[in-house]
Structure 1
Amino acid sequence: MFVPPSSPVTAPLSSPPRLEALASGAVRDQVRSLVAGFESVTDPRGACGVRYRLSSLLALVVCAMTPAGHDSITAAAEWCQRATPEELAAFGLPYHPLLGCYRVPSEKTLRTVLGRLDPGEISAAGYDHLRPVLSAQPHPTPLMPNGGIEREQRRAHRSAVLAEPVRSRRRALAVDGKCLRGARRPDGSRVFVLSAVRHGDGTTLASREISAKTNEIPEFQPLLDQIDDADLAGAVVTADALHAQRDHATYLHKRGAHYLLTIKNNQRGQARQLHALPWKDIPVIHRDDARGHGRHEQRIVQVVTVAGLLFPYAAQVLRIKRRRRLYSAKKWSSETVYAITDLPAEEANATEIASWARGHWTVENTVHWVRDVVFDEDKSQVRTRNAPAVLAAVRDLIRSALKLAGYVNTAAGRRAHTDRPRVLTLYGIT
């Protein structure tokens, strides 16, 4: 019979040698246990009949869904069932003296608890857990578990290093929504989640589930209310044409933040003003010619300082002309995009504005695509209350933790963490 230790942790789990090469000892010391990080999440359960601490259950779900192949609540419960007594003690699970073992939550328990939580609080707790690593290790060296470096990782690391002078001048956040296609509410409506992520690494700062009777527009301000002033003040918030709203611009100005918003025909008066500007007389300030992913892409950027536009605090207008051609095609497809920002020319040059406009696709390429393809989010049919949005926040936390550990390829990072001690060490549970 296993004898429980006097403290929740018996002995430090051995740190995998690969992780010791990923980060310095100072960075690892700043990362507190994920169990302690989830203590700030509000427990919606009553006082009677509560067997497991909420922080222990959330940490179990995050660790269980980190390895490859564990994409469902059922797989997470099976991962917990196979845990050793020492590992269960590290999570602070209750010990049954008569049975001589630690109690392990069932799938029904995990599903019920996840369905009653607030996904915004999960995202906030996850970001607070990663904050020390974000400040100490902004651009980790891309690594592979076998010691090699893949081509996509070398390209991503090189781009991050080259873009450092632009990104270090002002932070940028992308706001965008995503539909969880496999989930349905009791009334048959789909589940949408609005998120705010950092450009570059795609770390999620806040997320919010959109109710069935509204859309993304009224949820913009409540989403950013979850972000501290220290993270939002001075930052540039990028969003698509849906959020090109005057109220959003006024709100960001009051919070001390800035905006870069795409303008389309949903703002007809503003769009007519932008189209009427003398673009033929405005010089091209930035050009970009890129090849990759089976296509050739050209971008021509023009920026002009304006005054008296219909949009609040507008200072510069950006026009991007994109030309794309597949390697196997002869004809080019073209597209013209307009955007406005409240930053004057002395605070944001054309190169910076163009990088923010392109960096907005971080939320699609780094966040939404990874959750769909690597975590099979759209195939998940979890429908219990808030569980779909909560699991989306859990996937964001796992993706961000692996990226900060040096894995640009999230799928490779998940395959590298099939070893349980490595998973616990990743989240500071030792």
Structure 2
Amino acid sequence: MRINTFVTHFADITDSRQLGKIEHKLFDIILLTISAVISGAEGWEDIEMFGEERLDWLKLYGDFENGIPAHDTIARVISRIDPKQLQSCFIKWMQECQQLSEGSVIAIDGKTVRRSFDKKQRKAAIHMVSAFSAANSVVLGQVKTDAKSNEITAIPELLQLLEIKGCLVSIDAMGCQRDIAQKIVKKEGDYLLAVKGNQPKLHAAFEKHFPISKLYQYQGDSFETKEKAHGRTEHRMYFVADIFEEFVDFSFEWPELKTVGAAVSIRQVGDTAPKAEDIFVRYYISSAELSAKEFGEAVRSHWSIENTLHWVLDVTMREDDSRIRRGDAAENLAGIKHIGLNLLRQETSLKLSIKKKRLKAALNEQYLSKVIEM
């Protein structure tokens, strides 16, 4: 995090406190929170404790003229930051830090912060929809909804903020909507959308023309992989076709539709023949001209948002265990965790897991500086 660049992008965040009562600068509190989260802090008291132990180090990057704020002050300030301002600054910062190559996969998916609900205040758990660069393993941006069902409205809002020109945007079946496809094409990107029962006519056409029996004897472009681990074999097959007669009508409904594809996954344990429930078939439409190999790699890349982002947030950063709910604190802290995770991922001098990088940052100021200065 080149500090000057970070300050430039985050300086626009409004400090809602009364000017005469400000004892600790907003940037200092944001810097403290990010650094503490990188080092393993999970709550406000953890952040305060980290600050007390690392005050001299923090003064290398901020003022901290009045020392470290109390945890109540940290919680109050973070909870009052406008989430939309924080998201906008985050996205602009990432656009400067990350250069996406032509055809890069941007995976969009949602995750619920499970314990952010507040029964007394009748507040539902927040649901964050994130855009994830599969190649660079970093979050490009995120927006909040109050329920998974609202992803349909959140995705266009997120797309509006992102720079997706030349990229392939992959979304699961929830986002298989004509308006979303149109938004992606209008911003000069391509879409790869999973098709399920929420598009019944399109899904029925796939089931009619790409049944599993036909796919085993498919004569068109195909690609397959086999992976063995822990006594289990994963056999994946990918099939693509240009738009043929039965799909012509859909090409008028879906902007720039060029490729239809099917992905088959067969899971086998040991030498036991796979059962029907071990065979999964998924269908996709895309505005990009994809070979079967490119299609397969894009489909696999989409799932990196689950394995590389959501799993790490749940297991390593314990996001689902957080009971922080005050004001907009849950949403803002989720964004700060994305910042911290991005910085940890971009520090590549040590080949360590995120968990071990956080421990190293907590123990070693030099390494923490290396992460912060990425």
Give me the TM-score of the superposition, normalised by structure 2.
0.87
Return the offset for 1:209.
Answer: 1.1
Match for residue 11 of structure 1?
none
Match for residue 247 of structure 1?
179
In 2, the alpha carbon distance for the partners of 1:370 and 1:213 equals 20
Q: Would the alpha carbon gap of residues 296 and 278 (structure 1) be closer, same or farther in structure 2, given more than 3 Å must change?
A: closer
Residue 225 in 1 paired to residue 160 in 2? yes
Return the offset for 1:425.
Answer: 3.4
Match for residue 290 of structure 1?
227
Return the offset for 1:37.
Answer: 4.5
Contact 2:345 2:354 in 1 (8 A): yes
Contact 1:41 1:55 in 2 (8 A): no
Q: Would the alpha carbon gap of residues 182 and 326 (structure 1) be closer, same or farther in structure 2, given more than 3 Å must change?
A: farther
Q: One-letter code of the match for 1:254?
A: K
In 2, the alpha carbon distance for the partners of 1:134 and 1:31 equals 16
Contact 1:38 1:58 in 2 (8 A): no
Residue 198 in 1 paired to residue 107 in 2? no
Cα deviation 1:247-291 (Å, max 9, x = unaligned): 111111111111000000111011112222266354351011112
Q: One-letter code of the match for 1:208?
A: V
In 1, the alpha carbon distance for the partners of 2:341 and 2:49 equals 21
Q: How does 1:171-190 map to 2 (within 5 A)?
A: 171-185=104-118, 186-190=121-125
Question: Which sections of structure 1, spanning at least 5 residues, go unmatched?
Answer: 1-27, 96-101, 139-167
Q: Would the alpha carbon gap of residues 236 and 52 (structure 1) be closer, same or farther in structure 2, given more than 3 Å must change?
A: same
Q: Would the alpha carbon gap of residues 189 and 86 (structure 1) be closer, same or farther in structure 2, given more than 3 Å must change?
A: closer
In 2, the alpha carbon distance for the partners of 1:213 and 1:242 equals 9
Match of 1:269 among 178, 194, 201: 201
Match for residue 372 of structure 1?
314
Match for residue 274 of structure 2?
331
In 2, the alpha carbon distance for the partners of 1:256 and 1:42 equals 32
Match of 1:90 among 61, 72, 77: 61
Q: One-letter code of the match for 1:103?
A: G
Greater shift, 212-221 or 75-84, is seen at: 212-221
Report sequence identity in percent.
22
Residue 415 in 1 paired to residue 348 in 2? no
Match for residue 168 of structure 2?
236
Match of 2:294 among 335, 343, 352: 352
Q: One-letter code of the match for 2:201?
A: G
Residue 362 in 1 paired to residue 304 in 2? yes
Match for residue 321 of structure 1?
264
Q: One-letter code of the match for 1:387?
A: A
Contact 2:185 2:255 in 1 (8 A): no
Give me the TM-score of the superposition, normalised by structure 1.
0.76
Residue 40 in 1 paired to residue 15 in 2? no
Match for residue 389 of structure 1?
331
In 2, the alpha carbon distance for the partners of 1:62 and 1:119 equals 15
Return the offset for 1:381.
Answer: 0.5
Instruction: Name whichever structure is richer in helix by fraction.
Output: 2
The one of the two structures with greater contact order (alpha-carbon pairs below 8 A, sep at least 6) is 1
Match for residue 122 of structure 1?
86
Q: Would the alpha carbon gap of residues 62 and 283 (structure 1) be closer, same or farther in structure 2, given more than 3 Å must change?
A: same
Cα deviation 1:353-409 (Å, max 9, x = unaligned): 211111111110011000000011111110112111211111111112111111562
Match of 2:143 among 197, 202, 208: 208
In 1, the alpha carbon distance for the partners of 2:73 and 2:335 equals 19
Return the offset for 1:35.
Answer: 4.6
Number of residue equivalences = 356
Equivalent position SS for 1:288: strand
Match for residue 110 of structure 1?
74
Equivalent position SS for 2:282: strand
Q: Would the alpha carbon gap of residues 33 and 107 (structure 1) be closer, same or farther in structure 2, given more than 3 Å must change?
A: farther
Return the offset for 1:331.
Answer: 3.4
Return the offset for 1:316.
Answer: 0.8
Return the offset for 1:212.
Answer: 5.8
Equivalent position SS for 1:314: coil
Return the offset for 1:417.
Answer: 1.1
Match for residue 62 of structure 1?
34
In 2, the alpha carbon distance for the partners of 1:83 and 1:341 equals 50
In 1, the alpha carbon distance for the partners of 2:5 and 2:102 equals 32
Cα deviation 1:183-239 (Å, max 9, x = unaligned): 114214211111111113331111111136961111111111222xxx311111100
Residue 79 in 1 paired to residue 14 in 2? no
Match of 1:308 among 242, 246, 249: 249
In 2, the alpha carbon distance for the partners of 1:295 and 1:331 equals 11
Q: One-letter code of the match for 2:14?
A: T
Contact 1:194 1:210 in 2 (8 A): yes
Question: Which sections of structure 2, spanning at least 5 residues, go unmatched?
Answer: none
Equivalent position SS for 1:262: strand
In 2, the alpha carbon distance for the partners of 1:322 and 1:116 equals 46
Contact 2:191 2:286 in 1 (8 A): yes
Residue 404 in 1 paired to residue 368 in 2? no
Match for residue 188 of structure 2?
256
Greater shift, 262-271 or 176-185, is seen at: 176-185
Match for residue 21 of structure 2?
49
